[in-house]
Amino acid sequence: MKTMKAVCIYSYGGPDVLVYEDAPRPHPGDGEVLIRVHAAGINPVDWKIREGHLKERLQHTLPLVLGWDVSGGVEALGSGVTRLKVGDEVFSRPDISRDGAYAEFIVIKESEVALKPKSIDHIHAAALPLAGLTAWQSLFDAGGLSAGQRVLIHAAAGGVGNFAVQLAKWKGAHVIGTASARNHDFLRKLGVDQVVDYQTVRFEEAVQAVDVVFDTMGGDTQERSWKVLKRGGILISIASPPSAEIAAAHGVRQAFVFTQPNAAQLAEIAKLADADKLKAIVETILPLSDATRGQELSERGHTRGKIVLRVV
């Protein structure tokens, strides 16, 4: 088999630049594995790359296969692979500078791949890596969140936000989440201690003295978040880099997180999923050929949980 079905872009632009086509099947090199994709998650970074927002940072070569959330089976091994074997069921958030997972096959470095949770299917496993690692690296690596601390999570019902809620609760933090009214019951079931309806209440008037703010929105939401932090607290954003000067003026810290592949952290996430401590919430499942619709849904926002493409 020399070709595979894949969703590529040949130029930057709107959803219409996505092309579902026959593409060359990749081959694993040294330290790499070939994975037969069973499912691929859709994330905002996919359409941001499609629109060209990250082209200076990532220096992609077009055509490019999108999608960096994957669950599947190991099909072939490159030389030097020692940890994985053919037939292993795995999941990954692969290197975002390379071709992604909107395809029947993807080549990934072994160091970026972990065994998938045994207790969930590929659809739900594909919803875990990017959002799960984003929440983990933001709350724990950047934020140092610990038991008893107070954390405010913006867009807490979203693809990253709901994992941040679950991980923060697992760690023993007091969790405050912003969401529209339709998601309040959902968040309470996840364990959120205080839900703030951002459509009717200004969160900075309802929340005070938090240790960590997790900003997934940027803009005005980020600017209004400084005042809810206690001195020495930290504002962590995945949307736009917070100002070091403003942080210093408020006596707090700031961090910007751009998620990195991490197989060891994925293995911990898999353990939590198998222990029923972390649930992947999938709102929409689409075929690979319908990736355009999936990205359009993602761009509209207000998704509860994740959108996943079924490939096998």
> What is the predicted pLDDT for the residue at 100?
98
What is the pTM assigned to this prediction?
0.95
> What is the predicted pLDDT for the residue at 46?
97
> What is the predicted pLDDT for the residue at 17?
98
Number of domains comprising the chain? 2
Shared-domain flag, residues 61 and 170: no
CB 237 within 8 A of CB 222: yes
Cα 212 to Cα 47, 94, 160, 174, 265, distances in angstroms: 28, 28, 16, 10, 21
> What is the predicted pLDDT for the residue at 16?
96
> What is the predicted pLDDT for the residue at 281?
93
Shared-domain flag, residues 135 and 154: yes
> What is the predicted pLDDT for the residue at 182?
94
Which CATH number is 95's domain given? 3.90.180.10
Question: For the chain, which ranges sit under pLDDT 70?
Answer: none
Helix axes 161-171, 129-136, angle to 10 degrees: 50
Shared-domain flag, residues 22 and 109: yes
Shared-domain flag, residues 105 and 138: no
Instruction: Tell me the C-alpha distance between 265 and 257, whole Å.
Output: 15
> What is the predicted pLDDT for the residue at 146?
98
Q: What range defines the domain where residue 53 resides?
A: 3-128+280-310
Shared-domain flag, residues 145 and 239: yes
Indicate the residue type of 300: R
Instruction: Tell me the C-alpha distance between 212 and 228, whole Å.
Output: 9
Q: Is residue 265 situated within a structural domain?
A: no
Closest CA to 159 of 27, 292, 245, 282: 282
Q: Is residue 272 situated within a structural domain?
A: no
Shared-domain flag, residues 135 and 124: no
Q: Is residue 267 situated within a structural domain?
A: no
Instruction: Tell me the C-alpha distance between 170 and 161, whole Å.
Output: 14
Q: Is residue 152 situated within a structural domain?
A: yes
* Bridge pairing between strands 150-153 and 210-215: parallel
Shared-domain flag, residues 225 and 295: no
Shared-domain flag, residues 13 and 121: yes
What would the pLDDT profile of 189-218 be if each residue is shown by its tens digit? 999 999 999 999 999 999 999 999 999 999
CB 161 within 8 A of CB 177: yes
Which CATH number is 213's domain given? 3.40.50.720
Shared-domain flag, residues 11 and 43: yes
Q: Is residue 275 situated within a structural domain?
A: no
Shared-domain flag, residues 197 and 141: yes
> What is the predicted pLDDT for the residue at 303?
74
- Angle at the Cα of 80 from the Cα atoms of 268 and 38, rounded to 5 degrees: 50
**Residue whose structure tokens are 């707090």:** 252
Residue 82: count of CB within 10 angstroms of its CB: 8
